[in-house]
Chains A and B, each alone.
Chain A
């Protein structure tokens, strides 16, 4: 016992180092269980608040581009307004308003922190639980997919960016509906890879890649990008496809968070099937 105590006192520096190091690595490995560590991320009160302050300053720098984008979006929406259509056929028609049920609901949010240079990139938004944002909602822009909400606090939320090794998105080729999974390989922030497309499927550079809608997160048919390059396969049965992402993650400022109103129903049904 005395020897043990002596040993601990003598090597306390090394022992403490090992203890703290193991603790840090455990934190890192367990981080996917966001319930446990939900408080310690960029959407908590302090760090979210500081990021919002920083964003308030840096927003001025991208004001002109984001104005331009909002203008373009406004014009597009104006074109869809009922007031911009003239009735050209003078006959009665039936408008059945119970035939359609709203499935997706969109909320705008501002990005207050974003990165593209890490291997695991995350985005922080200025909206949270109070504004109706929940974990696992999709985050998109008019140009395409941005990511998935990871965790929320009262007024902020953290988004796993598409530029994150840990995110895989179910994707399909528009022209022939073959589906695979898209994820980022950590190299170029403009390019991701599409996996699991069998070798016999015809695919050329320029083909459009969309979300498949098989997951309960993304609506079907959102733009992900276009095929940039199909590399020769090295002995596997799958294509090596490089996808040019439609979103420029460096210039994002406003995003839309998509809530699926029918998600619970779908998940419950699928859970029932599995049992």
Chain B
């Protein structure tokens, strides 16, 4: 599968998982994992900046259409996408990133991915939950919501990486 088809498939699969399964997990108001961020995380290194922003906007707005929150997920996704090049730059190894690799566990290892994903997810969730309440009152509750949700998003995203990682080695 080439890169475009793979990312396109990931786009739709993640939106479907988000709206069909994760949006229905209502343990409490504090645990709302949003794993669609994985799409932004796994886009190839060589992607031009404008395309990264536009794809993230499309991703966010698609989720928004299903949750009746037009603009909320879109703005959070675009914010996460904006941070991505800087975070990648910060974590880059001495030789930089190799051409043809993707920013996942399979190519750069567990610790690297965990750090990278954690920062993007926390940034995304913080933006999202503050936009959602649209105020700084009850800040402790919003912070708890960010912490718990980020934690669960990160776990789900890392586990999904291991599942997909296995498949990839088999198919290669």
> Chain B contact residues: over half helix, strand or loop, or mixed?
helix
A13 touches B79 (CB 8 A): no
List B contacts of A31 (CB < 8 A): 69-71
* A150 cross-chain contacts in B, Cβ below 8 A: 68
- Residues of B whose CB lies within 8 Å of any CB of A are 19-20, 23-24, 26-29, 31-32, 49-50, 53-54, 57, 60-61, 64-72, 74-75, 78-79, 81-82, 85, 131-133, 138, 141
Q: Is the CB of B29 within 8 A of A115?
A: no
Q: Is the CB of B57 within 8 A of A24?
A: yes
A37 to B81, CA, bound (A): 25
Write the chain B residue with the least CB distance to A120.
B69
Give A225-246 as 1s and 0s: 1 = Cβ < 8 Å from B's Cβ atoms. 0000000000000000000000
> Besides A12-B49, A16-B53, A115-B23, 4 other CB < 8 A contacts?
A17-B53, A42-B67, A117-B26, A120-B132
Chain B residues whose CB sits within 8 angstroms of the CB of A118 once the complex forms: 29, 32, 67, 69, 132
Partner of A26, one of B32, B53, B71: B71
Most buried by A among B24, B28, B50, B69: B69
Contact across chains for B141 and A187 when beta carbons are under 8 A apart: yes
CB pair A28 B69 closer than 8 Å: yes
A3 and B54 alpha carbons, distance in the complex (Å): 26
A14–B50 Cα gap in the complex (Å)? 9
**Cβ–Cβ contact B67 & A21, under 8 A:** no
